[in-house]
Amino acid sequence: MGTIRRLRHQIESGMPSGLAAYEVSSIAMPGDDDDYYCTPDLVVLPDSWDCDDEWLADPADVELAVEVISRSEKARDITGKNGWYAAAGVRTLLVLDPRFGTWQLFREPAAGRYPEPLTGAYGGTISLPAPIACTLDTACLPLYERR
């Protein structure tokens, strides 16, 4: 649909050296022996991930995870997914919802939970925290077609 392509282009244009954006890269749950993991739509990691032979990234290395809500996701699925990232300790999670043209930015989890997120609607901007520290324009992000 183009959301990740458009977002990735914006993130990469403002990203400091040493970081890179990856698709189809999974994040491990710390301390889980059963390979419990999550695969965000986009993840920002140190660019050393290019040469890493591990298949699961350490959540401590994740600077940003991005989830784009699918047309069919239910509210409880979304809440559970956000909770997974908080429990794993992912510092920053951006959730985009093309069903309604809204976004949520979760930052700095404590005790396995994120504090209240920053929220907004497509058409405005999102300021990502350091070290990425760029501003994303959501006006170019597509919405799902109404069925």
Q: Please state, in angstroms and rounded to a whole number, the distance separating the CA atoms of residues 30 and 79.
A: 20
Domain boundaries, the chain: 3-140
pLDDT of residue 137: 96
Arithmetic mean of pLDDT, 130-147: 90
> What DSSP designation does 13 have?
H
What are 46-77's pLDDT values in tens digits?
999 888 777 889 999 999 999 999 887 766 55
Arithmetic mean of pLDDT, 112-118: 94
CATH code for the part of the protein at 3-140: 3.90.1570.10
Spacing of C-alpha 104 from chain mean position? 10
Arithmetic mean of pLDDT, 118-143: 95
In this model, does residue 78 exceed pLDDT 80? no
In this model, does residue 21 exceed pLDDT 80? yes
